[in-house]
Chains A and B, each alone.
Chain A
Amino acid sequence: NAGVTQTPKFRILKIGQSMTLQCTQDMNHNYMYWYRQDPGMGLKLIYYSVGAGITDKGEVPNGYNVSRSTTEDFPLRLELAAPSQTSVYFCASSYGTGDTEAFFGQGTRLTVV
């Protein structure tokens, strides 16, 4: 059982470049999330999705885009990368919300130089 899989694990981007962070889950979860983790700041929600075709902004969506064409996949797109986007990105999924557990991928460490 793979759970939540993120690729790549590491990436270095130059300012202005674009990239897509991939996330896939095999638990048939409706809810999926993208977070960024910065030292001493905890995790901040970037975007989330409540099902295929439905996405919504989280706390820090600027500079990012998402799509959800299937239940399994929830890619995060960075357009025109900036140094402020240097962070560790986590994808997560859950069966529901409220008191249900969120399952996390192992993260993508992104550096923008």
Chain B
Amino acid sequence: AQSVTQLGSHVSVSEGALVLLRCNYSSSVPPYLFWYVQYPNQGLQLLLKYTSAATLVKGINGFEAEFKKSETSFHLTKPSAHMSDAAEYFCAVSDFRGSARQLTFGSGTQLTVLP
């Protein structure tokens, strides 16, 4: 089964600073990779996904992620943090188990944006 590792359970950045959230996956085949965001007391919302069409993927709210096969990484970045970016971020991989593909989530990274 594939797995996802998110380095850093908590990340703090100043408003206007670069956001970098790290995600590494284990997979023997090209995977489908996702970043989801969870705002307080809400469900998860898709930020972006990698499906092999392009290695640099752009998502909503100015986020993007780059798929690097040699590093088995899919790190999430945003050039300039905004206060509204404060949330928990989950990296996920789509893995075929049982009768269908299933999402396997990382443990999450809580992003704090300091004024």
B45 to chain A: which residues have CB within 8 Å?
A: 104
Task: Find chain B residues with CB under 8 A from A99 CB.
Answer: 32, 49, 51, 94
B window 9-35: CB within 8 A of A: 9, 32
> Chain A 85-98, CB within 8 Å of chain B: the 1/0 string?
00000101000011
Q: Does A48 contact B (CB under 8 A)?
A: yes
Determine the interface band of chain B, counting residues with CB < 8 A from chain A. Answer: 20 to 34
State whether B32 touches A43 (Cβ < 8 A): no
Q: Are B46 and A101 in contact (CB under 8 A)?
A: yes
Do B101 and A97 touch (CB < 8 A)?
A: yes
Q: Quick check: is A2 within 8 A (CB to CB) of the other chain?
A: no
B99 proximal to A (CB < 8 A): yes
Which residues of B line the A interface, CB within 8 A?
9, 32, 41-46, 49, 51, 90, 94, 98-108
21 A-B pairs within 8 Å (CB atoms) are namely A4-B43, A40-B108, A45-B103, A48-B102, A50-B100, A56-B98, A57-B98, A90-B44, A92-B44, A97-B94, A97-B101, A97-B102, A99-B32, A99-B49, A99-B94, A102-B46, A104-B44, A104-B45, A105-B43, A107-B41, A107-B43
